[in-house]
Amino acid sequence: MTPPGIAPLVKGDPDAPFWEAWAAEERFLLHRCAICGRHDWPASCCVEHGLAAMTWVEASGGGVVDTYTVFHRAYTAGLASAVPYTVAVVRLDEGPYFHTRLVEVAPDAVCTGMRVRVRRGAGDAFPLFIPDRAF
Amino acid sequence: MKRGAVAIVGMGVTEQRRGIGARPLELRRQALEYALADAGIGRDAIDGYIHASHEREDLRYLGLSPNFSWPVQSGGATAPCSFVMAAGAILSGQAEMVACAYGMAPSSGGMPGMGEKMSFGALGYGYPAQVGMIGAASAHALHARWHMDRYGTTSRHLGAVAVQLRDHAVGRPDAITFGQPITIEDHQASPMVVDPFRMLDCCRDTDGGAVFLLTTAERARTMAGTRPVYLLGAGMGHNIGNWHRRDVYPHHDDIAPAKARAFAQAGLTLADIDTAQFYDPFTISIIMQLEQYGFCAPGHGGPFVADGGIGLSGRIPSNTGGGQISGFYAAGFTPLIEAIRQLRDEAGTTQVKGARFALTSGHGLNGGVQNTWSHGTLILGADA
Ligand SMILES: [Zn+2]
């Protein structure tokens, strides 16, 4: 029996709920502290309250581009057909950073501060982001 | 740590270039021999061994019989970390003569823990590798883009760093770009690799070994024929705190605590520093560190370099061996090697006249997703 306040051991990949929710229903989850409401990604201890208070909750899937880079060179053979591609660090509306690829936008049209949201309905195995034109 | 209680009394550096073809272990063996000769001592004097990274065969192959052998791995911050560990061992009475050893051969096959042939795919930092975020350049490019968009830093500012480093390296025979000057036009014409970095913004892996022998200041004073360099101050900072605060990209590491501790121990201020040797795998690294150490105001690093600020007659002559970009890539040991050469008056065409105090930095490891690097500051002096 785990003492009160001490989180039981997480078996396997601590990030598994995130990937499973995306794969099953394209739901975009974050790890949230039930005490202070701080969101995290990837799975983390709350810096104030530890792991015991953390649960996976659905997030907005929106944010702004904090910074980005454009790959003009493929570092593995599997990426050769992808260049040039844009990797962005999105500052999610809930607070955490999320590293992803920006799609449906030319690399030279990307800028810091632009609003983006997760793309749904395209069968993406990884949550990719697109410009949030509705905003 | 008390200023000047520990001294570097021997330094051995092998050739540093691409494709040497020797194993890392053998590179450390030769570097050790150079260091022992430099210090005028035998291998039996080594009673502590600190190894940047970790392989199991070192002591047997190098013929050493120390009382301990400790691995340390903090990426490019390993170099300052290894000196701090050596000082700790010496000042706690565990050893009197510690060897800090480095040897890598990434361009001749293999990195520790990554198999015989290193693949760039192995240099993905956590889950972003799934979307093709691979290699150190992209991690630093995120800082560079942030800096450009926030402050108006330009590709030509990055180019000014590349040209200045090359100017330093062209007269230094140990640099991989010896005798090969470049212009800003060459930089602007070099192919874009990972935006905003062009080819000439990036260092290349080189093979090589380096060994440093550290002892007490008292022992150093008895070693005739050596040119001791003294450890005046050391400090560490880790960018994971900025990750938790969601403020990673404006920072080239968390330099403030490292700088504060190192300068307090040394009893020096920035104005006392004669030369700086920064960890510089990419051009942005110099710009951001100049700002965060306080040699110029935030956002002014690009113009500072373009105006000659890190040249030999500038405000702070920096990376005088060409750094990692134009000199050679011995991880965090590149800045230490050059700082020691400067303080021993052995820096050839880029010797800073009368250099007494050198600032050095190291940067590396991954404490989170990425860009959450560890930073180490060492201040070295020609006198205690
Ligand atoms: Zn909390």
Number of domain units in chain A: 2
**Degrees to nearest 5, angle at CA B369 with B333 and B202:** 45
Read off the pLDDT of each residue in A89-107 and give the average, rounded to a whole number.
Answer: 97
What is the dihedral angle through the alpha carbons of B187, B191, B194, B198, rounded to the nearest 10 degrees? -10
Q: With a threshold of 0.90, tell me whether the complex ipTM lies above it.
A: yes
In this predicted structure, the answer to whether residue B359 has a pLDDT above a threshold of 60 is yes
Q: Is A10 a domain residue?
A: no
Distance from CA of B63 to the nearest CA of A (A): 40
Are residues A71 and A44 both part of a single domain? no
pLDDT in tens, B177-208: 999 999 999 999 999 999 999 999 999 999 99
Mutation for B interface: A33, A36, A79, A89, most B CBs within 10 A: A89
Taking residue B242's Cβ as centre, other Cβ atoms within 10 Å add up to 19
Q: Is A52 a domain residue?
A: yes
pLDDT value of residue A134: 61
Q: Is A8 a domain residue?
A: no
Are residues A25 and A48 both part of a single domain? yes
What is the rounded average pLDDT for all residues in chain A? Answer: 94
Q: Is A119 a domain residue?
A: yes
Cα(B35) to centroid(ligand 1), Å:
51
Cα(B369) to centroid(ligand 1), Å:
20
pLDDT value of residue A77: 86
Are residues A33 and A67 both part of a single domain? no
Are residues A118 and A77 both part of a single domain? yes
Choice between A52 and B38, residue whose per-residue pLDDT is larger: B38
Mutation for A interface: B153, B195, B242, most A CBs within 10 A: B195
The whole domain housing A51 covers 16-58
Give the span between the Cα atoms of B1 and B231, in whole angstroms: 9
Put simply, whether the predicted model's pTM sits higher than 0.90 gets the answer: yes
pLDDT in tens, B265-316: 999 999 999 999 999 999 999 999 999 999 999 999 999 999 999 999 999 9
Q: Is A123 a domain residue?
A: yes
> How confident is residue A1, by pLDDT bands cut at 50, 70 and 90?
confident
Which residues on A lie below 8 Å from B121 (Cβ)?
75-76
What is the rounded average pLDDT for all residues in chain B? Answer: 94
Name residue, tokens 């590349």: B162
Size of interface A-B (CB pairs under 8 A): 83
The strand order across the sheet containing A39-40 reads A39-40, A29-33, A54-58
Mutation for A interface: B130, B131, B246, most A CBs within 10 A: B131
B361 contacts chain A (CB < 8 A): no
Are residues A53 and A89 both part of a single domain? no
Which CATH number do you get for residue A127? 2.40.50
Read off the pLDDT of each residue in A51-55 and give the average, rounded to a whole number.
Answer: 93
Q: Indicate the CATH number for domain B6-107+204-381.
A: 3.40.47.10
| b/e code B202-240 from CB counts within 10 Å (16+ = b) | bbbbbbbbbbbbbbbbebbeebeebbbbbbbbbbbbbbb
Give the span between the Cα atoms of B1 and B9, in whole angstroms: 18
> Cβ contacts of residue B283 below 8 Å, gap of 6+?
B144, B158, B159, B161, B162, B197, B201, B325
The strand order across the sheet containing B357-364 reads B69-72, B48-52, B97-104, B208-216, B6-13, B229-238, B374-381, B357-364, B275-277
Alpha helices in B4-109 (DSSP H): 24-39, 58-62, 78-91
> How confident is residue B112, by pLDDT bands cut at 50, 70 and 90?
very low
Cβ atoms of residues B358 and B343 within 8 Å: yes
> How confident is residue B135, by pLDDT bands cut at 50, 70 and 90?
confident
Q: Is A72 a domain residue?
A: yes
Which residues on A lie below 8 Å from B119 (Cβ)?
76
pLDDT value of residue A39: 97
Are residues A93 and A79 both part of a single domain? yes
Q: Is A120 a domain residue?
A: yes
In this predicted structure, the answer to whether residue B115 has a pLDDT above a threshold of 60 is no
B279 in active site: yes
In this predicted structure, the answer to whether residue A89 has a pLDDT above a threshold of 90 is yes
Which residue among A58, A74, A108 closes a domain? A58
Q: Is A70 a domain residue?
A: yes
B134 contacts chain A (CB < 8 A): yes
pLDDT in tens, B147-163: 999 999 999 999 999 99
Are residues A54 and A69 both part of a single domain? no
Which residues on A lie below 8 Å from B131 (Cβ)?
87, 99-101, 126, 128
Q: Please name the helix (run of DSSP H) or strand (run of DSSP E) that holds residue B72, with its range, or none.
A: strand B69-72
Q: Which of A42, A72, A100 faces B131 most closely, judged by CB atoms?
A: A100
pLDDT value of residue B117: 47
Read off the pLDDT of each residue in B80-108 and give the average, rounded to a whole number.
Answer: 96
Which residue among A5, A37, A58 closes a domain? A58
B65 contacts chain A (CB < 8 A): no
